[in-house]
Chains A and B, each alone.
Chain A
């Protein structure tokens, strides 16, 4: 023995402790030929078989030919009487039964063995035999198997039962015939035999509910010996209880409950689990079930009933297995009351450093849930989280913490100040770029809303100095956001950003330049999506001309009026709402192939125009989409008649003068109360004078009567039409509002360009205020420098208007109002790069 060990030791040093490491399949297959030798060397053959098993185990694939050859050689080994070798042979037969062909040739040898006197052979022989046998062979050995099931030797009986269970998957009908033997085996004295017999018996009878119920109640009354059998019975019982509610569940339930007092832990656990998993379970039943074993699952499904066991759980918190302790704590956190939180937090802190990151993440998640549940406790939580942030930990863990803090900040405004403070400290020393970027973004977003946004500048600017380029870029954006939203800080931030304009990284430099420019001019009031679309469109052209920013739809100017700090949030919300609405429309349009060639959308009318009375059969609203040379009318139709289904509905437009209808996009069906949209596209004439006018619209469709209840429509329909109100196209429709922060400068810029001037008498308007409003609406331009606010008791006023014409030209207008003898006179001066818009301006007023 010692000698062998020593020999191995020497060998180990050469091949790294694994004598099987370097064996090769081909060699082993070659070696297997020694099985054919006259004198069988037991030790050597044993070794070869072990090698073979090891190879198969390592996932080496033996080809069928190789396997079959080896298998046949192996059959020779039945001549040896050595027990170990024989058992290795059985094992190898089992392993190779799926690899080699004609494995049934060993059937007779195995059958002989299973009936031999040597008990040690018999069990293994039964198992090997059942592995290689198939349906047709099975009948031949059926007699032996039935005997084996009731064999007095426990291992033989077990082997037979387990093998039968395997066989029953494919040969259920045959195995079913052995039910009497199996029944007899259930009363065996041996634990495992009993377990296997019950398992097989259940398998045989599982479709017979009554028999199974009987089986369980019988076995439940007899005290089973095997804990495994108990577990099996528990599962069967809980399945029966689950399957039919009105069953004699109570007696079965009593059985489950009695199992809770079983001396084997395994049974107690199984029973506890079965009970908490029962859907119909009452909370009073649960209390005994959970005492002792923690299942987090329980907390999720039955939070209330677990509460009663919180005391037990608290004991587990101090368990030496930190995983269990963590589960206990998180369970407690999930169920705990507000008062107990602080105490628990202390406890967690005590062992936080000892558990793995994954469990820490679990704890963090639990805290997050807790914070949302008890907002008042945020201070405790926040301190705890920040302490965790300072500790060692991997990326996932830190990310979880930061996410938690962020969601707390978002949910709970009170927590924002302290939360941001903690995060600021965290990014001072944060090795994870993506987390730092995330935090910086948050600072940019939330910082301006706090009481003293200025204190965040230092933290952010530190990042600019110390970090890698993505973080620097994010910092710059965050700074710019602060600058844009907090006017008092703007100047200093511009200074800081100017320093970054020499950064070594392209992205950082670009962003800095961009932000400085934006902050200084305070104007890039285009809608982001509009810009994106326009740029996409631009890229598709040959890009000879420089990109014209003016062709981009202008975002609602209210976005810029962030100066009113108290209302920032509401203003932003409404701004984003309108912007996204317009973008949504444009998005819809862009998807319609007919309109793809029209170029970028210039403007859509703000509010839909009602072209029907609101209480009529069909409600139609119209939105005008202005393109360079086209107008697309979008009609949103709603059918308010329950008994009608409209098909192929479209609006026929009779245009005035030079307009031409180019295409219509009908809506296929209009069911009751389901809005549908149809489009009509008209081309705009070149001549300025003819660009405006009114359109007579008729909604045309095919009506089909339909059943009110089923919604099914008749097959036949008839054509019908419905006259809509006229839609007007005004000069203002071709004008986009633009805010010029420095009107005078822009005005001077256009000095050399076209100018027109005319005087009007506004006879129908009585006050200057009304006049200003009227003219602004008519022109569709943006009042600048607050010139739309008229001072009281003044007889004169100057209105400054700015806009972009559909062609992309800037249009500026200065209207001087004077009040004399109750009549208002207006001197309107307009400047632009082009003639056409000027004419339009005057046409609009005139």
Chain B
């Protein structure tokens, strides 16, 4: 870690991972060529999981990479960047993603609920980072882009309404905004 002039690039995120309590992959999205093969990826995930302290949020340095993580019950969320990356920036991505998921699952950030809403999680992930470039870190914006499942304009009978309505989403977003303002 000598003095390095950081590369000027928007490609800040190397990977976003969600691992379960056994270190198994639930979602893994790699944005660059650090790990091309599944085996390398899995190895990395295992190493990362082993290094993950049992606290709710922290930062891990591993193989010249920086990983910020948050965990809840049986899920571990990671955002990974190069070791020269701005950790605060990575954390910002992590929090945006996590909060969006949290809102989407109505604070039940648990594996079971996550699996039930996997489509939403995929969409949210897609909205947070695009090919390594940070797209959006504001959870309200992410939610508004994703959780639009029950668009009232489109009538569909067999849609089982597993999601909230727009009104609900907006309400919860407002709540969150209020809370963050109060803090």
> Which A residues lie at the B interface, using CB under 8 A?
1, 3-5, 8-9, 12, 17-20, 41-43, 46-47, 49-50, 53-54, 57-59, 81-84, 87-88, 91, 94, 120, 123-124, 127, 155, 158-159, 162-163, 165-166, 192, 195-196, 199, 202, 206, 228, 231-232, 235-236, 238-239, 242, 265-266, 269-270, 273-274, 276-279, 297, 300-301, 321, 323, 356
Judge whether B115 and A301 touch: CB under 8 Å. Answer: no
How many angstroms between the C-alpha atoms of A159 and B41 in the bound complex? 28
Residues of A with C-beta under 8 A to B122? 50, 53, 88, 91
A83-B151, A232-B10, A239-B5 given; A57·B111 CB < 8 A = no
Residues of chain B within 8 A of A274, CB atoms compared:
6
Number of A-B contacts (CB under 8 A): 152
Q: Is B46 an interface residue (CB 8 A)?
A: no
B86, A266: Cβ atoms under 8 Å? Answer: yes
Since A57-B25, A239-B8 are in contact, a sample of 4 more A-B pairs with Cβ atoms closer than 8 Å, ordered by chain A residue number, is: A4-B162, A46-B119, A162-B10, A277-B4
B141 contact set on A, CB distance < 8 A: 155
**Which chain A residues border B156 with CB–CB below 8 Å?**
42, 82
Does B107 reach chain A (CB closer than 8 Å)?
no
User: Within the complex, what minimum Cβ distance (angstroms) separates B44 from chain A?
Assistant: 12
Is the Cβ of A83 less than 8 Å from the Cβ of B154?
yes
Contact B133 A199 (CB under 8 A): yes
Q: Are B5 and A238 in contact (CB under 8 A)?
A: yes
Asked if B48 is at the interface (CB within 8 A of a chain A CB), the reply is no
Given contacts A81-B154, A323-B58, contact A269 B115 (CB under 8 A): no
Q: List the B residue with the shortest CB-CB distance to A3.
A: B160
A278 touches B3 (CB 8 A): yes
Alpha-carbon distance between A351 and B14 when the two chains are bound, in angstroms = 34
Q: Are A57 and B27 in contact (CB under 8 A)?
A: yes
CB within 8 A of B115: which of A18, A84, A87, A231? A18
Chain A residues in 8 Å Cβ range of B3: 276-279, 301
CA distance A300 to B2 in the complex (A): 9
Contact residue among A59, A83, A159 (Cβ-Cβ distance under 8 Å from B148): A83
Residues on the B chain within 8 Å of A49, using CB: 119
Asked whether B159 is an interface residue with its Cβ less than 8 Å from the other chain, the reply is yes
* Interface 0/1 of B21-49, CB less than 8 Å to A: 00001011100000000100110000000
A252 to B27, CA, bound (A): 42
Closest residue to B86 on the A side, CB-wise?
A: A270
A8 — which chain B residues lie within 8 A by C-beta? 112, 116
Q: Please give the distance in Å from A267's CB to the nearest CB on chain B.
A: 9
Inter-chain CA distance A196–B146, complex, in Å, is 21
Q: Which residue of A lies closest to B148 (CB)?
A: A83
A41 to B135, CA, bound (A): 31
B12 to chain A, nearest CB (A): 9
Please, how many angstroms separate the alpha-carbon atoms of A358 and B160 in the complex? 50
Contact in complex: A269, B88 (CB < 8 Å): yes
Q: List 19 A-B contacts (CB under 8 A).
A: A1-B160, A4-B160, A17-B111, A53-B118, A57-B27, A59-B41, A81-B154, A84-B149, A87-B146, A162-B131, A162-B135, A165-B10, A192-B136, A202-B8, A239-B5, A265-B88, A273-B6, A277-B5, A278-B3
- 1/0 per residue, CB under 8 A from A, across B78-122: the answer is 000000001111001000000000000000000110011011001
A277 to B161 CA separation, bound complex (whole angstroms): 53
CB <8 Å contact, A232 and B58? no
Task: Please provide the chain B residues from 132 to 159 with a CB less than 8 Å away from any CB of chain A in the complex.
Answer: 133-137, 141, 145-146, 148-149, 151, 154, 156, 158-159
User: Are the C-beta atoms of A50 and B119 separated by less than 8 Å?
Assistant: yes
| Residues on the B chain within 8 Å of A232, using CB | 8, 10
B59 lies within 8 A of chain A by Cβ: yes
B60 to chain A minimum Cβ distance, whole angstroms, is 9
The answer to whether B145 touches A155 (Cβ under 8 A) is yes
Q: Give the distance to chain A from B160, nearest Cβ to Cβ, in Å.
A: 5
* Nearest 3 CB-CB pairings of A with B: A59-B38, A199-B10, A266-B88
Nearest-neighbor residue (CB-CB) of A58 within chain B: B25
CB of A88 within 8 A of CB of B119, answer: yes
Residue of B41, B116, B130, B160 near A162 (CB, 8 A) is B130
- In the assembled complex, the CB of B99 is this many whole angstroms from the nearest CB of chain A, namely 16
Q: A266-B89, A269-B87 are in contact. Are A301 and B2 (CB under 8 A)?
A: yes
Q: Does B182 contact A (CB under 8 A)?
A: no
Contact A196 B10 (CB under 8 A): yes
Decide: B133 and A356 in contact? CB cutoff 8 A: no
Taking CB atoms, residues of chain B closer than 8 Å to A228 are 89, 134, 137
Q: How far is the CA of A123 from the CA of B126 in the complex (A)?
A: 12
Q: Which residues of B contact A47 (CB under 8 A)?
A: 119
CB distance from A236 to the nearest CB of B (A): 5
The CA-CA distance from A43 to B88 in the complex, in Å, is 39
For residue A231, which residues in chain B have a CB less than 8 angstroms away from its CB?
86, 89
A91 to B120, CA, bound (A): 11
Q: Are A165 and B133 in contact (CB under 8 A)?
A: yes
Q: Which of B2, B58, B160 contacts A321 (CB 8 A)?
A: B58
Q: How far is B132's CA from A166's CA once the two chains are assembled, in angstroms?
A: 10
Contact among B6, B59, B116 with A238 in the assembled complex (CB-CB below 8 Å): B6
Return the chain A residue nearest B92 by Cβ.
Answer: A266
CB of A10, distance to nearest CB on chain B (Å): 12
Let me know if B1 and A88 touch, CB within 8 A.
no
Does the CB pair B29–A1 fall under 8 Å? no
CB distance from B137 to the nearest CB of A (A): 8
Contacts of A192 in B (CB 8 A): 134-137
> With A43-B158, A270-B86 given, is the CB distance from A12 to B10 under 8 Å?
no
In the complex the two chains form, what is the Cα distance from A296 to B10 in whole Å? 25
Q: How far is the CA of A50 from the CA of B88 in the complex (A)?
A: 32
Residues from chain B with a CB closer than 8 A to the CB of A127 are 130
Measured in the bound complex, the distance between the Cα atoms of B15 and A580 in whole Å is 55
The answer, among A57, A202, A297, A300, for a CB contact under 8 Å with B28, is: A57
When C-beta atoms are compared, the residue in chain A nearest to B110 turns out to be: A17
Query: Known: A8-B112, A59-B38, A59-B41. Is A236-B135 also a contact (CB below 8 A)?
Result: no
CB distance from A652 to the nearest CB of B (A): 58
Bound-complex Cα distance A58 to B126 (A): 16
**CA of A94 to CA of B131, assembled, Å:** 10
Evaluate contact between A356 and B53: CB separation under 8 angstroms. yes
Shortest beta-carbon distance, A361 to chain B, in Å?
13
Asked if B123 is at the interface (CB within 8 A of a chain A CB), the reply is: yes
* Residues in B whose Cβ lies below 8 Å from that of A279: 3
Residues of B within 8 A of A158 (CB): 135-136
Nearest CB of A to B19, in Å = 12
A57 touches B29 (CB 8 A): yes
By a CB distance below 8 angstroms, the chain A residues around B87 are: 269
Closest beta carbon of chain A to B113's beta carbon, Å: 8
B residues near A9, Cβ cutoff 8 Å:
112
Inter-chain CA distance A127–B135, complex, in Å, is: 11
CB nearest to A119 among chain B residues: B145
B178 to chain A, nearest CB (A): 20
Q: Contact between A17 and B27 (Cβ–Cβ < 8 Å)? A: no
- Complex CA gap A3/B162 in Å reads 9
The residue that B1 contacts in the complex, of A238, A269, A300, with Cβ under 8 A, is A300
Chain A contacts for B5, CB-based, 8 A: 238-239, 242, 277
